[in-house]
Structure 1
């Protein structure tokens, strides 16, 4: 009998220690900093933002992260692997997969960490800084843009040299030969032309292709998408298989989320047009992104903002909202 008691007591001790360890993990998830999150982004590790969809729409998401509001975190992580992948375009984590939880800035994400630990996940980390800290630190780490330098007619701009090249007269859209001897100095002609009336200047130099693109708000709804002007590009970032199975958003082009950065960063205008059938937008053109429910499109929007595009917008409801609105019986 004594021989049986010893192994039994040893087993009880192991279970007690394990429960104690689980309890500590449950209550004290390790915190991570910006550098850890940046590594997780590069490695495509799972980053879960537990803020509400409204908060995310108003500010944004850390790249590659998924938005699962705290109230439905447990139910989403209990989904099948296929359903999780379909909804979040990310593999469902295994029990020993690294998971970083983030939310409001400066607010510990203890409830979310506790839920994950309760579900058996072993490597849960808390990014207390949240999206705002990531955005601030990300901007600090980016190389500063070359400062814009306004060149006066009479004076060159400092500093000069290769770092801030001064435009040559060949870059000025005025042909001095057409003005005779009075325009032997192109810069003096430039001064004359810039003092013309707006109408005369536009008639002479045809700046129609330099007009600003129509701007749209950061978040748009069904009515705004339905009435988008022709000069605003509508981009659906779902996978081609989703379009075949569910349907295509009218007037949109399809650039899957995984191809967005390459399309806008690497492709030449000619390659972009050949591949997608439209002109490649410049940094000032307006674009609206859409997906199934607004999550992947928010990520695409953030990718383009990081590339310098200034007028991007998210169709928050996505194709699910489009189907719902178009299938409503007409009044």
Structure 2
């Protein structure tokens, strides 16, 4: 399932390519004909992400709400413009250390400049694949990659396209979402009100206090609380495992058993890793990497994480074998020594 950084990146691509433009909406698959009809021909006025959900506003006061779920993805096609707030050759991209501070290269070359030339084996570094404008087709889901160059525009729909959004230069096709619905402003606010805080939208002390207070009054294991979108928005299976390892927290510890400083540290580290994820398109959680190791990690997903998908392998810190179990119907990876 796409985690929060992916949805924020998608929303920013909509803001860059669709907001302020009149949009044609259709449902090639036929399952969203009525919803597409009420939005067709209107100007998109806003694109925003809240955790794992995205909301697109139109000038008739209605919104398109999308939750990609496990299988959803957007394909952008056409003369795609790069969102300037996502790292590019002129931007910056940090790596992390255990305290969640940002590190420079120390060489006069920014991390983002180097990243522009680093693609992994799946072509997932979207700094290159989303960079444009040029006529191309790009997949944006949990992993992002350029699919092909276009000879004609708009391209024929491929697969079961729930909804297509089309301007003169760019189209976006949605496949396989868990939710795709038209809401009015009050309904959108009701959905947002049920969601936990998203540090990319609100990094205030009040948001941190809200998260901390909820976690510290719950008997629920912290490994479940971090996946509860009413507690905190955007965290999925990868970030859950990595955040808990980085904090040295046992995933089975009840929320109410954790020290206040520990909970606040989880919130701040989530804000930090989410920012890196949005800038880079990668869930990079490794720390203090030398330049060569950083490039290797950007190329290979297996080298980006402390514990995720490393079951049976020695912990990178203590050497204990990483455990794999099920928690909340999802796979949980953790070190029984570092997170005792």
Normalised by the length of structure 2, the TM-score is: 0.25
Bigger Cα Rg: 1
Structure number having the greater helix percentage: 1
Normalised by the length of structure 1, the TM-score is: 0.25
Larger relative CO (CA 8 A, sep 6+): 1 or 2? 2
